[in-house]
Amino acid sequence: MALAVGTPAPAFTAKDTHGNTVSLSDFKGKTVVLYFYPKDDTPGCTKEACSFRDHYTAYQEKGIVVLGVSADDETSHQKFTEKFNLPFPLLADVDRSIIKAYDVDGGGYAKRVTYVIDGNGIISHVYTSVKTDTHATDILADLGL
């Protein structure tokens, strides 16, 4: 069961695509789209990532941070990012601590769930039913952007 709208987003720290340490607290004051996906370079996950890639400028213009999370390691994320020119970081949650904290553990992989976290660290939107090819535009529409 996904975390509820209105609850504080669990803090996390993880390595990103390029080996940088990323924490939720780094984005205080900004809206964060934290999307969980099962596996790099699989059909649905690729559609979803490319949806965010194709609309990333709109997110940037509104100051919205996009972070993808899966249990894949940094090397897998690097290959996925390079292959599809992904402009946003992917977080390597190899121990699945973030996946568990956000209650999206599918048993060895992350369920496809997205959280929108406001600038105060509160979950404002939860998406448990995702259309991978339109997910990025669906979120923008829901946020009135």
Catalytic residue among 9, 24, 33, 45: 45
**Is the CB of residue 40 less than 8 Å from the CB of residue 108?**
no
Active site residue 50: no
C-alpha 105/C-alpha 74 separation (Å) is 19
Instruction: Compute the C-alpha angle 87/117/42, nearest 5°.
Output: 45
The residue behind tokens 């987003």 is 9
Could you please report the per-residue DSSP string of 12-55?
-EEEETTS-EEEGGGGTTS-EEEEE-S-TTSHHHHHHHHHHHHT
**Is the CB of residue 70 less than 8 Å from the CB of residue 36?**
yes
The residue behind tokens 């599809």 is 84
| Enzyme catalytic residues | 45
